[in-house]
Structures are given as structure tokens and as C-alpha cells.
Amino acid sequence: MATANMLMINPLAEAVPEQATEMPVEIALVKAVLEGDREGFGRLYDLYAPLVHGVLLARVPRMEVDDLVQDIFLHAFKKLHTLRDGSAFGPWIAMIARNRAVDYYRRSRETVEITDEMRGTDKQESKAAEILELIRGLPEAYRETLVLRLVEGMTGPEIAERTGLTAASVRVNLHRGMKLLREKLTLTEGV
Amino acid sequence: MNDDYLWNKSGEPDPQIQQLEEILGTLRYQPKPLKLPEELSTSRSRRNHFPWLAIAATVVMALLAGGLWLQTRNYDASIPAVAIAQPADPIIGPPLSASTDAPKRIKPRVTNYDRREALAAKQQLMFALRLASEKLNSAYRRTQDKRSSHENTLPN
Amino acid sequence: MKTLFQTKLAAPLLALLLIAASAAATRAQDSRLQLSSLDHLAAKASQSVDVNIDERLMRLASRVFSDQDVEEREIKKLVAGIKGIYVRSFEFENEGQYTAADMETIRTQLRGPGWTRLVNVMSKKEGNLEVYLLMNGETVGGLAVLSTDVRELTVVNIVGPVDLEKLAKLEGQFGIPELDIEPAKPKTKNEQ
């Protein structure tokens, strides 16, 4: 028992980010934006662009990601009034990003192949693109979490806070995703 | 396998994960300015149920006072009747533009404790459903694979 | 006198029949599995997941699903009749950390009345996967999924009526639809 890493999902232990002590900054920012403060939205953009970038990178071709990030935030700005709870901005915009990724594939059904321009001439970049493709081949729940951790550099607790997932779910996703990725890397190294 | 490093970068660094971070970090988001067109604005008129609730309440009270009962009840889903049904969405946080004329809710708000428990239960539920869905689809795919490989081995 | 004897006998017999019928009905409808026999595996597992959402928590969770969000609306509909969801999942560092006997305690329950095994896929590479349904007449009254690998054991038990097709689609709704099993969409004008 002492050596086991138990992930007991306790309903009372794993909860939303603490609101008892401090109001999340997102609530204040969303309120400000709705009252006309456009700069407040810039702040939200700075805070959540890496999250949106990671969510998209796990799903759509790399060259499309930057434009889509901008589109998503413009869309979020127009629809911000539909967000009932400012503290849910992160999960909300992550969902918009996932839906946009779905739309991307609905509109363009051509198969995405790794081309030389995607690989880049740099060896490191080429390797990065290959590993990203391996991650994209993993189940959806794992690939997003792994991209946020390994590409965007977020920690597990940060991923949980930004996406609204419980820490336990994120931890499981990271652990299992990493395990599968290691297996894939072992296979490709053998080729 | 201790996955503390994977989880929150603490403890003994895992060399393979470090290597992956170094390689994949080249794909990381590079800050770019957000260009909000001047003509773009967020709507300040939040969808607000309260005026509709007040109207609905007035209508219902007037009908009841007149002793008229609706034989067939046809409720427009966007105009919930306060006296009969509860609102479709529980308000989790305080609405940004609460009207002081809003009619009182029949049910009390979800307490903070309930809310935390409910949100945690929701996450667990989503996780469990996702896992079940994943396994079902895996079963489907694998039975399809087996079927097609069996068909391919059948003699002509 | 004869009537009195018959009356005296009839009442206990009737009671017995009612109890038996009730028990049979309960057995037939109760799709909740007892998973506590697996709890000892947590001590050996490197990672374990334990989810217990009973009817009360299901109702509580449903209250915070948003009707504005399309996906959450669909999930809320899916779980409307579900009475509970229970998961035990263990991952082990090494092989041989759980035995066939551990799984047998679960399978024994799934051989009970009403349960039918829908799928049984066995693979050395991908592990074994079994899907069971509890049928109440023509309605699904419960679902159980058993997934085993050399280093992993997962049991998912859903209690109550569940729409399998909608449940399977959920995986896609959390992100990009699984393109290889996506149902055929009508061709757009451009594609025709």
C-alpha cells in the first residue's frame, strides 16, 4: 500500500480552483471586457493563447494553428456575453478550440501528410514534427494533455486549472499517454 | 515508475521526458499580438431570462387569478414559467447583470459545498463516460478488424 | 373450516411468492457489480482509478451540465436514466500482478440472470476486451466492460438504461470524431 500511487478520485478533495480566498482573475477580466475594456481581453488572450495553441496543435496541421488561434479568440470576443461564469473561461475557450478543430476537418477532408515544408530543414524541428504525429495518433484525451505538458510546458496542475479537468483525470491522462508514447517511440526507433 | 516529474516537474527528472520537452519545445506557442478589429464588439446585452420570467409570472398569475386553467400546456422553452417549472440551467455563479426585479426562485441556489461536489462528480462522470466510450469503440474496431481479416483469408 | 385452512395457507404462500418475485425482479434488474473484490489490487498497482458515482451523485452532477453547450446537453440526455457509474482501473509495473481469480469474481456476477456477453475480443498484443449488457426485456438495463492487459485491468460498470450508440459517439464529441468509424455524411454540392 505504501508504494502504490493511489489515485482515489475523492469528490470532496478534487474540486474547482479555490474561490473562497481569492476571486479568479478571469471573472474580473470577463466583467471588464463586457463593460467595454478591450485591453482586458488582451490580457485573457495572453493568459490562454498557449492553451488554445496546444489544444489545436494536438489536432490540426501545424501550419494552420496560428491563424486558428486568432480566429478562436475573435470568436470568443464576440460571444463572451454567452459565458455565464467568468471563472470557466479556460474550459470554455478550450471547448471552442476543440469544436473549431472539428470544423476544420469537416470543411477540408483531404488527408494530411507530413510534407517537407512541415518538417522544416532543421533536424530538431523535423524530429519534433515526427514526435507530434506520434502524439496525434494517441487517444484524444491523452494527446491534448501531452501536448500541453510537453510542447507548451504546462505542469499537470496548470493543465487541470486551465482546462477544468480534475487533477486526477489529468494525471491519469499524462501517465497513460506517456506510456503509450514511449511504446510508440520504442517501435519507431527500431525501424 | 515515479511520474512526479511528468506531473509537476518535481523530483528526479526523467531523461526521456526532458529530451521530449527539449525537442517538442520548438513547437511551443510564440506570443503574437491579437488584432481586434475596431468594428468588432462584444454584445453587452447578455441573454437575460429575467424580463421574460417577470412577464411569464405576470401572465400566469393573471390567468390563475381569473380562474382559468390551461387545458393543454404549451410552454415556450425560452420563457420558463416561474410558478410551474424551475429554470433550465442552474445558476452556478452570480449572474453579471442580476435584475433586482427578478422573481424569486422556487429552489434555493446550489450551495458552495454542493457545487464543488457536483462539479467534481461531473468531472468523474465525464471521465468514466469517456473511458467507457473508448473501450466500446475499441471493441467495435477490433471486431471489425477481425471480421475483415477473416474475410480476407477465406478462399475464393 | 376448509376455507379457514386455505386462508391460513394462502397468505404465507402469497407472501412467499411475492418475495420470490420481488427478489427475481431485483436480481434481473440490478446491474450493479460488486467491485470491492478488486480493491486489494490497489496496493500492487502503480496507478489506480476508483470512480463511484451513485444515483445521488448522478443527480447532483446533472444539475451542473449546461443546456447551452451542445455536448453537455447530449451527455445530460445520455445519463438521464443512469443510476450509477463505477470504475476500477489498475496499472501495474510488472506482469502477473493480478490473477485470473481476480477477474473471475467479476465474471461470476456477469454470468448471472439477464447478463449477456456482447463482445469478447482476445489479443496478445492489445489485450482482452469484453462487453456485457444486462437486458430488461428489450431495454438495456446495464453495461459492463472488462479490459485486461498484462499490466492493466479496467472494469467499467454502468447501472441503468444506456444508449450504446450515443455512448460510443461520446469519444468523438470530446474532440475530433474518429474518422475511421464516422458515419457517412451526405455529400456536399462541391463533393458531388
The ipTM value here is 0.81
Which among C77, C125, C171 is the top mutation candidate for probing chain B, defined by the most B β-carbons within 10 Å of its own β-carbon?
C171
Instruction: Report the Cα A188 to chain-centroid distance in Å.
Output: 26
The total number of structural domains in chain C stands at: 1
Q: For A120-172, what is each residue's pLDDT tens digit?
A: 557 777 899 999 999 998 887 799 999 999 999 999 999 999 998 888 889 99
Residues of C in contact with A179 (CB under 8 A): 91
Q: For A15-53, what is each residue's pLDDT tens digit?
A: 444 444 567 889 899 999 988 888 899 999 999 999 999
Asked if pLDDT for residue B33 goes beyond 80, the answer is yes
Q: What is the pLDDT of residue C33?
A: 92
Say how far apart CA C150 and CA C166 lie, in whole Å: 30
Which alpha helices (DSSP H) does chain B contain, by range?
4-8, 15-24, 50-65, 112-153
Does residue C140 fall inside a structural domain? Answer: yes
Domains of chain A: 22-112 (1.10.1740.10), 115-191 (1.10.10.10)
Which among C48, C49, C94 is the top mutation candidate for probing chain A, defined by the most A β-carbons within 10 Å of its own β-carbon?
C49
Task: Pick B40's closest partner by Cβ from A20, A77, A151.
Answer: A77
Residues of A in contact with C49 (CB under 8 A): 7, 9, 168, 172
Cross-strand pairs, C156: C87, C145
Which among B92, B114, B135 is the top mutation candidate for probing chain C, defined by the most C β-carbons within 10 Å of its own β-carbon?
B135
* Phi, psi dihedrals of residue B104, rounded to the nearest 5°: -70, 145
Share of chain A above pLDDT 70, in %: 79
What's the average model confidence in pLDDT over B105-116? 60
Alpha-carbon distance values, A125 to A68, A121, A185, B20, B21 (Å): 21, 8, 16, 12, 13
Residues of C in contact with A98 (CB under 8 A): 174-176
Looking at this protein, which amino acid is placed at residue C91? E
How far does B114 lie from chain C, in Å, by closest CA? 8
Q: What is the pLDDT of residue A148?
A: 97
Asked if pLDDT for residue A178 goes beyond 50, the answer is yes
Contact A6 C48 (CB under 8 A): yes
Does residue C63 fall inside a structural domain? Answer: no
Q: What is the pLDDT of residue B9?
A: 94
Asked if pLDDT for residue C24 goes beyond 60, the answer is no
Say how far apart CA A127 and CA B20 lie, in whole Å: 10
How far does C36 lie from chain A, in Å, by closest CA? 14
- C50: three-class secondary structure by DSSP: strand
Does residue C57 fall inside a structural domain? Answer: no
Task: Pick B42's closest partner by Cβ from A33, A66, A171.
Answer: A33
Share of chain B above pLDDT 90, in %: 18
C170's grid cell: 461520446
Q: What is the pLDDT of residue A11?
A: 37
Say how far apart CA A64 and CA A110 lie, in whole Å: 14
Does residue C45 fall inside a structural domain? Answer: yes
Say how far apart CA B54 and CA C190 lie, in whole Å: 49
Contact B132 C64 (CB under 8 A): no
**C174 shares contact with chain A (CB less than 8 Å):** yes
Q: What is the pLDDT of residue B25?
A: 94
**A4 shares contact with chain C (CB less than 8 Å):** yes
Residues of A in contact with B27 (CB under 8 A): 57, 62, 125, 128-129, 132, 151
Does residue C146 fall inside a structural domain? Answer: yes
CB B136 within 8 A of CB C129: no
Q: For C45-96, what is each residue's pLDDT tens digit?
A: 888 888 899 988 898 888 888 887 777 888 888 888 899 999 999 888 888 8
CB A90 within 8 A of CB A48: yes
Residues of C in contact with A95 (CB under 8 A): 69, 71
Contact B3 A174 (CB under 8 A): yes
Does residue C175 fall inside a structural domain? Answer: no
Q: Which of A81, A105, A76, A71 has its CA nearest to residue A93?
A: A76
Residue C88's domain comprises 37-52+84-162
Contact B140 C65 (CB under 8 A): no
Contact B46 A45 (CB under 8 A): no
